[in-house]
Amino acid sequence: MAGMTTIRISKELKHKIGEFGTKNDTYMDIIERMYKAIVEMHLAKHLMDDKDTVSIKEAAKSLGIKLKK
């Protein structure tokens, strides 16, 4: 494990974070799990974003390719 540090949070936030854990979890376990979940959510959001996409039909048309039916 890399070096450790201390972060200051309110008792209220500490309690809220603790609600995500189980009996044997440390706060580090809980925060790591939360971080991984957030990374996965961001990745899923990015992969599902169709803002800058075109359909296969549109791409083929713009490239002058005829698709088989």
Q: Hey, which bits of the chain come out as E strands?
A: none
State pTM to two decimals: 0.63
- Domain-by-domain residue ranges, the chain? 11-63
Task: Give me the phi and psi of 20, to 5 degrees please.
Answer: -85, -5
Calpha distance 8→26 (Å, rounded): 16
CA distances from 48 to 1, 3, 52, 56, 57 (A): 34, 36, 11, 16, 19
- The pLDDT assigned to 60 comes to 87
Kind and range of the H or E element at 55?
Answer: none
**Per-residue tens of pLDDT for the chain, all 69 residues:** 579 999 999 999 999 999 999 999 999 999 999 999 999 999 888 777 777 788 888 888 888 888 887
